[in-house]
Amino acid sequence: MGTDFVVLSLVPLAIGILVCVSCALLGNFLVLRRQSLIGDAVSHVVLPGIVGAFIVTGTVAAGAMLLGAGIAAVLAVLLIEIVRRVGRVEPGAAMGVVFTTFFAAGVLLLEQSDTSSVHLDVEHALYGNLESLIWLAGSAGWAALLDPAALAALPPQLPRLALVTFAVVLFLLVFWKELVIGTFDATFAESVGARPGPVSFALIVMVAVAAVAAFDAVGSIIVIAMFICPPASARLMTDRLVPQLAWSVVFAVVSAIAGYVLAGYGPLWLGAAYSVSAAGMIATVAGLILALACLAGPRRFGTRTAARRRRPPPRRASHHQSSISNSLQV
């Protein structure tokens, strides 16, 4: 049992957790900036870049993939601007058209190219391939974790995602004040020289890096759930930013573990013969957590409007009333 777990499940589980945590951390700022769909957009747009990079280089090396994804993202931004100006449509429509077109082009490229030698096909692009990231060298069981030769044979996605998660944490620590000020009040941020423009751009770049790194594990569709569900659930748990980030990490880890276990064993418990997609189940669990947070999260019961109406702070009660009626008139 232990050996089976180490060979088959340890690495996919670790990768799933890293993907969920890195995406969730960045997702907090996407949700607060009301840019949740940026994660969606980025993950769609990078697909033709990833496929294109494979076609050109013949490998699924991380550097080539990131470069391809970056080129695709720049092209997409240019195209959105062109569609918006020439087509005279609103920005949302221009984005919608460009993202879906890019994604469709990526799928077409995938179908037309010979990618049978690597894990790169349409199914993979849709729901990733977490289950296949097994660690054959781990056959010694837990002892393999201390064996340098076995460690060297770890799937490369694991160290890559560990690095990306580390980079995300570092990014948040280094630019914390700038991210917070720019998210809350961009005009004030500009006035004090907190450079909200470059910081938001850096945030989007980090989102793209996380999305590309997550591609192997969860594909480019389900990753959206990883960006949005844990932070959105966490937002319903607290009114402070740092606790919100902590909650989002907890929800991300729970989604990854519960989703992976349920996908692997759930159908067997129910009498089905095959397990289901781990990435799909992780996203489903993340969605269920969000539903639960909506129904029962502390903020559901109103820490603001309801509280203000029901029990105004005793000392300033009359003042409160007048200010509310005042603001209604204006």
Partner 1 sequence: MSTPTLIADNGRTLGESHPDSPLAVNGLTVSYGEKPVLFSIDFVVPKGAMVAIVGPNGAGKSTLIKAALGIVPRIAGEVTVFGAPYEKARHRIAYVPQRASVDWDFPATVRDVVLMGLYREIGFLRFAGRRHRERALACLERVGMAAFADRQIGQLSGGQQQRVFLARALAQEADLYVMDEPFAGVDAATERAIIAVLKELNGAGKTIVCVHHDLATVPDYFDHVLLVNVRKIADGPVATTFTSHNLQATYGGRLAAAHVEEVAVGREAAGEGR
- In the list 184, 198, 296, 317, the residue contacting partner 1 (rule: CB under 8 A) is 184
Distance in Å, CB of 244 to partner 1, minimum:
5
Distance in Å, CB of 220 to partner 1, minimum:
29
Pick the stretch among 4-12, 44-52, 86-94, 235-243 that binds partner 1 (CB under 8 A): 235-243
- Could you tell me which residues come within 8 angstroms of residue 179 by beta carbon, excluding any fewer than 6 positions away? 29, 172, 199, 203
Rounded Cα distance, 155 and 86, in Å: 46
Site string for partner 1, 267-306 (x = CB under 8 A): ------------------------------------xx--
Alpha-carbon distances, residue 117 vs 1, 54, 59, 124 (angstroms): 31, 11, 10, 13
Helices 196-218 and 11-32, packing angle to 10 deg: 150
Whether 258 contacts 322, CB under 8 Å: no
Rounded Cα distance, 194 and 182, in Å: 7
| Among candidate residues 284, 273, 291, 287, the one with its CA nearest the CA of residue 127 | 284
Pick the stretch among 60-68, 109-117, 231-239, 261-269 that binds partner 1 (CB under 8 A): 231-239
Rounded Cα distance, 159 and 2, in Å: 22
- Could you tell me which residues come within 8 angstroms of residue 76 by beta carbon, excluding any fewer than 6 positions away? 41, 45, 98, 99, 102
Does 308 bind partner 1 (CB under 8 A)? Our answer is: yes
- In the list 3, 8, 32, 105, the residue contacting partner 1 (rule: CB under 8 A) is 32
Q: Considering beta carbons, is residue 220 or 244 the nearer one to partner 1?
A: 244
Q: What is the DSSP letter of 303?
A: S
Question: Given 3-state DSSP classes, what are the helix, strand and coil percentages for the chain, each rounded to the nearest 5?
Answer: 80, 0, 20
Place of tokens 């990733």: 128
Does 248 bind partner 1 (CB under 8 A)? Our answer is: no
- Could you tell me which residues come within 8 angstroms of residue 115 by beta carbon, excluding any fewer than 6 positions away? 51, 54, 121
Distance in Å, CB of 310 to partner 1, minimum:
12
Pick the stretch among 85-93, 98-106, 175-183, 219-227 that binds partner 1 (CB under 8 A): 175-183
Distance in Å, CB of 317 to partner 1, minimum:
12
How many CB atoms sit inside 10 A of residue 320's CB? 14
Pick the stretch among 45-53, 210-218, 279-287, 307-315 that binds partner 1 (CB under 8 A): 307-315
Distance in Å, CB of 28 to partner 1, minimum:
9
- In the list 240, 265, 291, 300, the residue contacting partner 1 (rule: CB under 8 A) is 240
- In the list 181, 208, 223, 258, the residue contacting partner 1 (rule: CB under 8 A) is 181
Does 307 bind partner 1 (CB under 8 A)? Our answer is: yes
Question: Three-state DSSP class for 219?
Answer: coil
Q: Considering beta carbons, is residue 295 or 311 the nearer one to partner 1?
A: 311
Q: Considering beta carbons, is residue 193 or 271 the nearer one to partner 1?
A: 193
Rounded Cα distance, 261 and 264, in Å: 5
- In the list 190, 253, 276, 287, the residue contacting partner 1 (rule: CB under 8 A) is 190
Does 177 bind partner 1 (CB under 8 A)? Our answer is: yes
Positions in the binding site for partner 1 (CB under 8 A):
32, 34, 174, 176-177, 180-181, 183-185, 187-188, 190-194, 235, 238-241, 244, 303-304, 307-308, 315, 319-320, 322-324, 326-327, 330
